[in-house]
Copies of this chain bind each other. A is one copy, B any other.
Amino acid sequence: MHRSRMNGLLIDCKIDDIDGAARFWAEALGRPVDPAHPGSRGNYRMLETPPGELSVQIQRVEHESRIHLDIETDDIPAEVARLEKLGATVDKRMARWVVMRAPTGQRFCVVRVQRPGFPAGATTWD
């Protein structure tokens, strides 16, 4: 038995200036950059997350710009196995997360629990 829920959006940006990218998305979405958040470091900037809502994080990447979503879980191997049964495939196993590809083509990540409040809104899988 394990649990998972959608964690949030990652806005992958192929740009040099991560702070400029974060400023654009902060202003566009009306969610200020949260510089004190542990998710704001290196190539990442976290926007402020209203309680109970999905997070939005800006990431500097080398591949083309896109948006992907993260699923957070208390058991990454079990969640990856569940998603494989649904038709997703493993794209890359990282030290702390797994990049998967949906049968519809989009990449997404399975990550450890990130947002406060877990397991509120999570689904329990047997």
Q: How far is the CA of A11 from the CA of B9 in the complex (A)?
A: 12
Q: Is the CB of B5 within 8 A of A106?
A: no
A-B contact pairs, 9 of them (CB 8 A): A6-B31, A11-B104, A13-B105, A21-B104, A24-B102, A25-B104, A28-B71, A64-B105, A67-B106
Q: So how many copies of this chain end up in the complex?
A: 2
Which residues of A are in contact with B by a Cβ distance under 8 Å?
Answer: 4-6, 9, 11, 13-15, 21, 24-25, 27-31, 50, 52-54, 56, 64-69, 71, 83, 86-88, 102-106, 108, 121-123
Contact A71-B24, Cβ < 8 Å, known A13-B105, A65-B105: no
Q: Is the CB of A103 within 8 A of B24?
A: yes
